[in-house]
Amino acid sequence: MTAQKNNARLRKRRGLLLLLLALWATVFITSIILCLKSDSKIFDLTSLGIMVGAFAIGMALERLAPAERGQPKRSVALNVGYAFLIQSYTILQGPLIAIGTITLLNHFGLGLITLSEKGWLLLPSAAAYLLTMDFMEYLFHRAQHRFPFLWAMHSFHHSDRAMNITTTFRHFWFERTLHAIAVSLPVALLFKAPPEVLVVYGLWSWNDYFTHMNLRLSLGPFWGVINGPQYHRIHHSLLPEHWNKNFADHFPIFDVLFGTHHKPKPGEFPPTGLEEEVHIKFADTLLWPLRSRRKPD
């Protein structure tokens, strides 16, 4: 009788999980359509709407199968407040941020290789763009851990001992500008990307929410194909054996090629954060490099 109740509860949980995932996908696709058909002001509001929707649904998913239980609400509140701040900053920075940088440079005819969006050619164009962006992300991410002045900023992202979907936007505000220069600019100079390819990139970038989720979910044999909550949690791990591992943003193949991968073990969901526990006030988020004097982990 107990086994039947457990099975019924499991089926109910799986059904709810699928429903929430479907709702998440519907909200996101609708938002993308609105972005394509609306002016910049509506786009700004939509970008905030995507974040709010992702946080709400992601938190619901995390409650179903958390990798870590009992996370402090104070940490989540800090992340949510900072996320609104960083999104507003991103909107104001507009032309300096990833897609804005690429669109602007392409508008002036820059880009050595023109990517096609016609018919089936959209597929290889999007793949080339995604892989190139992810490779540049990988190099930039390694630099963030290698050079002290970059780590002084990036350590803010790693300081969260309660990693969850709200950690997604927990990046020091000036890193957005550095990212535009180090990642988006070189890719914009290499590729002249049509709007359709940029939309695919925007859709794919939503995986950042997924990888930061406090979710006890293993991708099994597909760990090396796409980044997931377990693989990225190891990158944020507090344990020394996981330091300087799993840098890839979306495709772990770059970690495999450069020897920085740690293959997730069954049930391996380590604690996260910096070696030294840090109690952060909201004001600290704006001046983090001046407050944080830590070496790369």
Would you state the structure tokens that stand for residue 244, as one six-digit string?
A: 């300087």
236 part of a folded domain: yes
Is the pLDDT at 96 greater than 70? The verdict is no
CA distance 103 to 184: 10
297 part of a folded domain: no
Domain count, the chain: 1
Q: What are phi and psi of 212, to 5 degrees?
A: -95, 0
- State the residue range of the domain holding 132: 2-291
Alpha-carbon 202 to chain mean position = 11
β partners of residue 237: 272
CA distance 200 to 181: 21
Q: What is the predicted pLDDT for the residue at 217?
A: 92
Q: What is the predicted pLDDT for the residue at 117?
A: 83
Where do we find the tokens 């050595």?
112
CA distance 128 to 190: 11
296 part of a folded domain: no
- Of the ranges 25-39, 167-181, 192-206, which one carries the lowest mean pLDDT score? 25-39
114 part of a folded domain: yes
The string of pLDDT tens digits covering residues 143-174 is 999 999 999 999 999 999 999 999 999 999 88
133 part of a folded domain: yes
Q: Is 297 exposed, middle or buried (0-12, 13-18, 19+ CB in 10 A)?
A: middle
- Of the ranges 28-32, 135-139, 151-155, 284-288, which one carries the lowest mean pLDDT score? 28-32
